[in-house]
């Protein structure tokens, strides 16, 4: 099996409007999804990201950021194991963020590198 990164974008603005009970229920859906993937031997790692950050550009220039449109900000990532990118996409189809408009999951295969 190969490693794939799921990059989660958008949907966060909808959580601002949720009650604490709704947020807890939504997070429960995330935890259940991670537990399912873990039991299947598919989940490797993943974390949410804080909104603040920095962007490092050529010549060492560092700026505040990221400044992408709010609904396009990367909110977190998973590393999962799958037989193909199609299988990784099928796993992502049940992402809890899809209950919100504008949410996307980008799937990218992690390139294996030989380490010296």
CATH code of the domain containing 21 = 3.30.70.1060
What pLDDT sits at residue 62? 80
What mean pLDDT is predicted for residues 101-113?
A: 89
Q: What is the pTM of this model?
A: 0.82
Q: Where are the beta strands (DSSP E) in the chain?
A: 2-9, 43-48, 53-56, 62-65, 74-82, 104-109
| In-domain check, residue 7 | yes
| In-domain check, residue 70 | yes
| In-domain check, residue 116 | no
| In-domain check, residue 26 | yes
What pLDDT sits at residue 112? 86
Look over the chain and give the mean of its residue pLDDT values, rounded to a whole number: 86
**20 pLDDT more than 80:** yes
Q: Would you put residue 9 in left (φ > 0), alpha (ψ -120 to 50) or beta?
A: beta
Residue labelled with tokens 């809890």 = 96
Split into its structural domains, the chain has a count of: 1
| In-domain check, residue 66 | yes
Which of 16-30, 65-79, 80-94: highest mean pLDDT? 80-94
Q: Which tokens belong to 71?
A: 């609904």
- In angstroms, the Cα distances linking 77 to 32, 53, 59, 83 are 16, 15, 28, 19
Q: Determine the structural domain holding residue 105 and report its residue range.
A: 2-109
| In-domain check, residue 84 | yes
Taking the CB of residue 29, how many other CB atoms lie within 10 A of it? Answer: 14
| In-domain check, residue 114 | no
* Residue 58, CA atoms < 13 Å, CB-side half-sphere: 0
Contact 82, 64 (CB under 8 A): no
| In-domain check, residue 115 | no
| Percentage of the residues of the chain whose pLDDT score is greater than 90 | 52
């Amino acid at each position: 099996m190969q490693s794939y990164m799921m990059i989660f974008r958008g949907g966060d603005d909808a959580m601002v409007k949720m009650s604490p009970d709704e947020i807890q229920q939504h997070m429960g859906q995330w935890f259940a999804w991670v537990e399912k993937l873990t039991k299947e031997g598919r989940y490797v790692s993943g974390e949410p990201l804080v909104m603040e950050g920095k962007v490092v550009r050529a010549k060492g220039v560092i700026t505040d950021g990221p400044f992408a449109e709010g609904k396009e900000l990367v909110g977190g990532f998973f590393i999962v194991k799958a037989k193909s990118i199609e299988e990784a996409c099928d796993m992502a189809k049940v992402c809890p963020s899809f209950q919100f408009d504008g949410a996307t999951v980008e799937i990218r295969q992690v390139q294996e590198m030989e380490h010296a």
